[in-house]
């Protein structure tokens, strides 16, 4: 059975339809672009769009609520290129790779496959995407692996990442849900739930500081918060989003005026998003033993 037939069989009768980025995001395409295959998950509780490229959450909207994610109008939706916006998966490393250049791992630029799909008794839809490989996939991370992303779409969005080290050597591992939340004006947004925690300020020579009050954005911001509470709340003029996870870290990032130097972001576009990421990175990255498994869950709600 072909890969396409497998997808069709798994999504049958689950409220999932197949689409293409040229249809869903025409403004990000030029005439003749092939686009990227995408799945639209829709039920009475909510709707999500997922690109198989990178197992990338593009959109989520609970019924009666506003869109949760921001996607850059400048992003390229093409094979082999990271998508700017939504929820990129930073895996199996965060930031520069072992070569000092390859950013955020290879999982976000590879094609994932549908492993399972089902309707749940509560009306939500569960979808599992997978990416498997061996040491030949990346010279920078030469380990056999199985990655699984479980997505549950309902009145809230729950993501569960699982990493299985199928190799015979220990594997260094870092992971982040690099979420771009949509806000009307980032300068008027705030993030609660990080007060009193220690953060690494990447814009100040990686100095370690203590967060005073809620996080607000008034300049280029790139901070890694360590040992954070399970819940953060993002507030803006449009309302609030709540982030729940047992991950040890959080990252808050906005390019601010540096957006003009980022080709797939573009000048002035920093206003519409704030990244609040849950992750195990920096000091809290880990080493996965041979045969070992890592799991991390994040739930996003209104």
Q: Is residue 300 part of a domain?
A: no
Say which residue the tokens 């686009």 belong to: 35
Q: Are residues 113 and 6 in the same domain?
A: yes
Q: Which residues contact 74 (CB under 8 A, 6 or more apart)?
A: 28, 84, 263, 264, 265, 266, 269
Instruction: State the residue range of the domain holding 256.
Output: 183-288
Q: Is residue 297 part of a domain?
A: no
Given this model, what pLDDT does residue 233 score? 98
Residues in the chain with pLDDT values less than 70: 1-11
Q: Are residues 119 and 203 in the same domain?
A: no
CATH of the domain at 96: 2.70.98.10
Among 178, 193, 223, where does a domain finish? 178
Rounded Cα distance, 247 and 245, in Å: 5
> Number of structural domains, the chain?
2
Q: Are residues 225 and 124 in the same domain?
A: no
Q: Are residues 187 and 252 in the same domain?
A: yes
How wide is the angle at C-alpha 181 spanned by C-alphas 285 and 173, nearest 5°? 15
Given this model, what pLDDT does residue 1 score? 53
Token pair belonging to 225: 């918060």
Q: Is residue 133 part of a domain?
A: yes
Q: Are residues 245 and 105 in the same domain?
A: no
Q: Is residue 124 part of a domain?
A: yes
Q: Are residues 19 and 121 in the same domain?
A: yes
Which candidate, 109, 130, 123, 114, places its Cα nearest to that of 47?
123
Q: Are residues 166 and 208 in the same domain?
A: no
For the beta carbon of residue 233, count every other beta carbon within 10 angstroms: 16
Given this model, what pLDDT does residue 13 score? 74
Q: Are residues 166 and 202 in the same domain?
A: no
Q: Is residue 96 part of a domain?
A: yes
Among 145, 160, 178, where does a domain finish? 178
Among 113, 145, 178, where does a domain finish? 178
Q: Are residues 113 and 222 in the same domain?
A: no
Q: Is residue 59 part of a domain?
A: yes
Q: Is residue 73 part of a domain?
A: yes
Q: Is residue 264 part of a domain?
A: yes
How wide is the angle at C-alpha 251 spanned by C-alphas 139 and 193, nearest 5°? 150
Rounded Cα distance, 268 and 104, in Å: 24
Q: Are residues 159 and 174 in the same domain?
A: yes
Given this model, what pLDDT does residue 6 score? 58
Q: Which residues contact 154 (CB under 8 A, 6 or more apart)?
A: 43, 45, 46, 62, 120, 122, 123, 124, 125
Given this model, what pLDDT does residue 168 score? 96
Q: Are residues 146 and 203 in the same domain?
A: no
Q: Are residues 192 and 171 in the same domain?
A: no
């Amino acid at each position: 059975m072909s890969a396409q037939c497998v997808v069709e069989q798994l999504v049958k009768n689950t409220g999932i339809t197949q689409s293409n980025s040229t249809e869903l995001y025409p403004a990000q395409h030029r005439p003749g672009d092939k686009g990227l295959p995408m799945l639209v998950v829709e039920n009475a509780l909510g709707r999500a769009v997922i690109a198989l490229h990178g197992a990338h959450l593009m959109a989520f909207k609970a019924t009666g609520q506003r869109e949760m994610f921001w996607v850059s109008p400048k992003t390229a939706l093409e094979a082999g290129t990271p998508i700017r916006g939504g929820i990129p998966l930073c895996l199996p490393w965060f930031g520069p790779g072992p070569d000092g250049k390859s950013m955020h791992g290879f999982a976000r630029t590879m094609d994932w496959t549908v492993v399972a799909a089902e309707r749940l008794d509560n009306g939500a839809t569960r979808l599992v995407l997978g990416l498997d490989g061996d040491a030949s996939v990346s010279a920078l991370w030469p380990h056999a692996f199985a990655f699984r992303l479980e997505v549950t779409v309902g009145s809230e969005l729950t993501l569960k990442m699982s990493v299985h080290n199928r190799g015979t050597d220990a594997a260094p591992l870092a992971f982040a849900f690099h979420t771009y939340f949509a806000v009307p004006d980032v300068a008027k947004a705030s993030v609660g739930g990080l007060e009193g925690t220690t953060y690494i300020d990447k814009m100040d020579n990686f100095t370690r500081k203590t967060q005073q009050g809620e996080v607000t954005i008034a300049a280029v911001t790139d901070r890694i918060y360590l040992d954070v509470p399970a819940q953060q709340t993002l507030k803006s003029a449009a309302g609030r989003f709540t982030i729940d996870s047992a991950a040890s870290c959080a990252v808050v990032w906005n390019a601010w005026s540096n957006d003009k130097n980022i080709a797939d972001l573009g000048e002035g576009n920093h206003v519409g998003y704030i990244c609040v990421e849950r992750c195990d990175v920096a000091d809290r990255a880990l080493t996965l033993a041979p045969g070992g498994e890592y799991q991390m869950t994040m739930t996003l709600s209104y």
